[in-house]
Chains A and B, each alone.
Chain A
C-alpha cells in the first residue's frame, strides 16, 4: 500500500500546454517536498511546503499544499521540453509521529513534453 499516490502516472503533452500533477494521501504530513528526476540521475529537490494552504512559485511551476496537509499539487504553465522528467512528491511525518525518520515518496508522475 502506497502512502502517497500521484496522478497521473504518465503524462505526454505538447510544448506550451499547461498541466497539473497531484499528490494525495489519507495521512497528514508535517511537510511535503517535490523532486524532479531525470534519466540516469537521482531526484533533485524543487520545493518544500510546510504550512497548510501554502502556495509557492518557482518560475513556471506553482506548488500548493492542501489546507489539511494531506495533499499537494504541482501546476506547470506553458510546459517546455526541459520540464520532461519524473516528478516525485515526498511527505515527512517524523515530527508528527515522533518515531524517527518517516519519509515517504509518492509513486511518481512521468512527464514528457513534446517540442
Chain B
C-alpha cells in the first residue's frame, strides 16, 4: 500500500543551494502534481504533469523546475534555494484531472 512516496521527509538548506525532491507513485496514474503548503494559504499548485515526458506550470512556478522522465516519478528541483521557499511540499497523483488526488506525506523544507 505504498501509494505516493516522497523523499526526503525533512531537509534544511542554505540560501543558494540546490536540491531535488522525489515523488514516486505505484498506482499507474497519468497525472502528478507538486504543491506547497504555507500557513493560511492552503495548497498552491507549483507544477503538474499530465503524462510521462510532459510538464506544465501551476499557480506558483517561479524558482522551481520539474521533470517527468518516467511515468511513476515526478521530480521537483530548486536550483538556487531562497528563504521564501521554506514550506511543506506535497506531491499528489490522480488518474485524471477531475479524479481524486492521492497525496504523499510531504517534505518539510527549511531554507536558512
Contact-residue size bin, chain B (C-beta under 8 Å from the other chain): 20 to 34
- With A44-B103, A100-B56, A101-B56 in contact, is A107–B4 under 8 Å at CB? no
Contact B43 A88 (CB under 8 A): yes
Question: Which A residues touch B4, using CB under 8 A?
Answer: 42
Contact A105 B43 (CB under 8 A): yes
Question: Which A residues touch B100, using CB under 8 A?
Answer: 33, 45, 48
Residues of B within 8 A of A (CB): 4, 31, 33, 35, 40-45, 48, 50, 56, 58-59, 90, 92, 97-98, 100-106
What are 29 A-B contacts defined by CB distance under 8 Å? A30-B98, A33-B100, A40-B105, A42-B4, A42-B103, A42-B105, A43-B43, A43-B90, A45-B101, A45-B102, A88-B42, A88-B43, A90-B101, A92-B97, A94-B97, A94-B98, A101-B31, A101-B48, A101-B56, A101-B58, A101-B97, A103-B33, A103-B45, A103-B97, A104-B59, A105-B35, A105-B42, A105-B44, A107-B40
